[in-house]
Amino acid sequence: MKINPTNPSWEERDRFILSKGHSVESYYCILADKGFFPKEDLKTFCKFGSKLIGHPNNDIPGIEMNTGSLGHGLPIAVGMALAAKMDGKSWRVFVLMGDGEQAEGSVWEGAMAATHYNLDNLIAIIDRNKLQMSGNTEDVMGLEPLEEKWKSFGWEVRAVDGNDVKQLENALKSAPAVKNKPTIFMAYTIKGKGVSFIENDVGFPIPSTTKRIDITLEVVLNELFVERAIVAEEILSYSPHIYKGIQKLLLNIPIDMIKHIEFKQKTQTTRAIIRTAEFTPYANIILVAGAWGFKL
């Protein structure tokens, strides 16, 4: 995306709308990593007086629109994309939707308008994990055949493994896929990917009174991370305080030695998980990593 963290209101920037606003924790981490606001601000998440509330807040640099009332993201993105066309601008609009919100009528009004106005500068992504707050999407309000429905509205539909970050990145780089048509990526995901006792569990990350699982960092490390030393270095570089608390689980690597270890791989995902773990109310890495479903 074309962005400028030093000038968030840059007229030629690409726009991004997080329609599924309840996933805002990861969004805040990315904005902080890109330099839209100080990383220290992440520690104020959901605290009294903080701008980092539980859904996107456009008082924060880099956030285009307050969202979270499901079904609104796509119509807003359609309006932005249409404005770009009318003004002869080349910037694009990206919108990320959940699959549960596909039951909203406003989504399909937006879908119809996008093709009517030939908005090839509009790129949508659906997180197709087949789960929403009240259960399986096909039990709550059947969506299939979802790809065919979007095709019938005139969109260019591309399927992608949403848990494979590289595949998703390559797909988005190809957008727009077809001239004079909006593009939508059906990102098939497994909620909680990589963590055996969270995968496809509709109850996470929402606490349940009837089902309580004792989540430990050791289980997380065994299932999510192949090389604990990499995680150790990432944690130490961001927060020595957190590192001291879990040092024994990370192969007991002494702090004064960690800087001299040569690591073969690092991931932006790891850093985001570590940072989110520090400020999230749940205060454990597994909840965040599992909810995002990253393949590491």
Q: Is the pTM of this model over 0.75?
A: no
Burial code (b: 16+ CB inside 10 Å, e: under 16) for 268-279 equals ebbbbbbbbbbb
Domain match, 46 and 146 both: yes
The yes-or-no verdict on residue 142 having pLDDT over 50 is: yes
Answer whether the bond into residue 61 is a cis peptide, omega within 30°: no
Burial (Cβ within 10 Å: 0-12, 13-18, ≥19) of residue 188: middle
The yes-or-no verdict on residue 172 having pLDDT over 70 is: yes
Domain match, 184 and 227 both: no
Residue with tokens 């601008």: 89
Residue numbers of the domain that contains 21: 15-188
Q: What is the pLDDT of residues 91-102, one digit of tens each?
A: 999 999 999 999
User: CA torsion sign, 136 to 97 to 146 to 193?
Assistant: negative
Please give the mean pLDDT across all residues of the chain: 77
Closest to 99 measured CA to CA, from 60, 63, 66, 140 = 140
pLDDT grade for 176, boundaries at 50, 70 and 90? confident
Question: Torsions phi, psi of 183, nearest 5?
Answer: -115, 140
Domain match, 274 and 164 both: no
Domain match, 231 and 139 both: no
Domain match, 180 and 241 both: no
Domain match, 224 and 180 both: no
Q: How many CA atoms lie within 13 A of 55 on its CB side?
A: 12
Domain match, 56 and 170 both: yes
| CATH code where residue 23 lies | 3.40.50.970
The answer to whether residue 200 is domain-embedded is no
The answer to whether the CB of 86 falls within 8 A of the CB of 64 is no
The answer to whether residue 240 is domain-embedded is yes
Q: What is the pLDDT of residues 179-233, one digit of tens each?
A: 999 999 999 998 877 766 677 777 665 554 334 444 445 555 555 544 555 555 5
| Residue 231: per-residue pLDDT | 54
Domain match, 178 and 50 both: yes
Number of domains in the chain: 2
- For the ranges 6-10, 132-136, 219-223, 262-266, the lowest mean pLDDT is seen at 262-266
The answer to whether residue 248 is domain-embedded is yes
